[in-house]
Amino acid sequence: MAKIKPSKGAPYARILGVGGYRPTRVVPNEVILEKIDSSDEWIRSRSGITSRHWADDQETVTAMSVAAAGKAIAEAGIAPSEIGAVVVSTVSHFKQTPAVATEIAHLVGAGNPAAFDISAGCAGFGYGLTLAKGMIVDGSAEHVLVIGVERLSDLTDHEDRATAFLFGDGAGAVVVGPSDVPAIGRTVWGSEGDRSETIKQTVSWAEYRNGHPEKFPAITQEGQAVFRWAVFEMAKVAQQALEAAGITADDLDVFIPHQANMRIIDSMVKTLKLPEHVTVARDIETTGNTSAASIPLAMERLLATGGAKSGDTALIIGFGAGLVYAATVVTLP
């Protein structure tokens, strides 16, 4: 029996650069209120959102991804040709095939890397980061471009009072590369398929194609069920990620949760008993819920504004449709 030669990758992996893209159009709550019976005060108190960004016709999933990726590659200090794989997490790229990752790889000048899309909702960035780490340690790629991108304005029912104010558009990207020291912890991830109906697309594309119903598919959710799950269960997952990394909340510098809802973020901070010195990402206020893009976008903003700095230890956690989740501890680039 022949023996397979062992893989020779890097001992560890780390995030080398981060980039983001927010569409130019800023949409305040007042615009949302034109189609729903609500108030600015109600939206702010329920979600913490004051505005969000919506993409125009030119700000496609591809275009936003390329813009964010360019920033991440430049910050990582590598040539695009050094990228060995491109992983894109999105639920709002409407072409079933080919994967948008292949087009993005070409446009950023990455050559001929492995390229594929994943669908893991708001946990998609964590899923992509975990895959990238595995590729680098395995040796199948030296640098991996991970992108979370959404045009959720295309999948929003703007007359649904429960969700019309939640979603925004944007793209966040990171370059993951080799490291001599641990800089991405073990991921605590999973799914609870028995709760898959709590966040979902209203109807399938096949049903829409066949004319029933006539209204374009949108994202809907059972708000209270999702809130309770996120507050009580995801704090446990976050704690498990800290333990997997061998640290405590006192060792953290930054907390970057999925930007789903300000009340969820505040509740998790309280449950985890995070010290006052820990910087907490609250990008949702002016960005809204951008699903797979929310964590890298929040990370980029914290680094750009000085809320976090290179070398900080950050806990990240994403959670959403599926229901799926992924949490890990990283060293910021």
Catalytically active residues are: 122, 258, 289
Question: Could you tell me which of 137, 147, 138, 148 has the C-alpha nearest to residue 110?
Answer: 147
Tokens 């504004």: give the residue. 305
- 321 and 121 in contact (C-beta within 8 Å)? yes
The length of the chain is 333
* Residue 239: both structure tokens together: 């704690």
Question: Could you tell me which of 260, 218, 223 has the C-alpha nearest to residue 92?
Answer: 218
Q: DSSP strand E in 102-186: where?
A: 114-118, 144-151, 169-179
How far lies 44's CA from each of 30, 130, 261, in Å?
Answer: 12, 33, 10
* CB atoms inside a 10 Å sphere around CB 208: 16
The residues facing 98 across adjacent strands are none
Gap between the Cα atoms of 283 and 84, Å rounded: 31
The sign one gets for the Cα dihedral 190, 105, 167, 53 is: positive
The residues facing 201 across adjacent strands are 219
Gap between the Cα atoms of 253 and 268, Å rounded: 16
Determine the 3-state secondary structure of 213 from DSSP.
coil
Tokens 């398929």: give the residue. 193
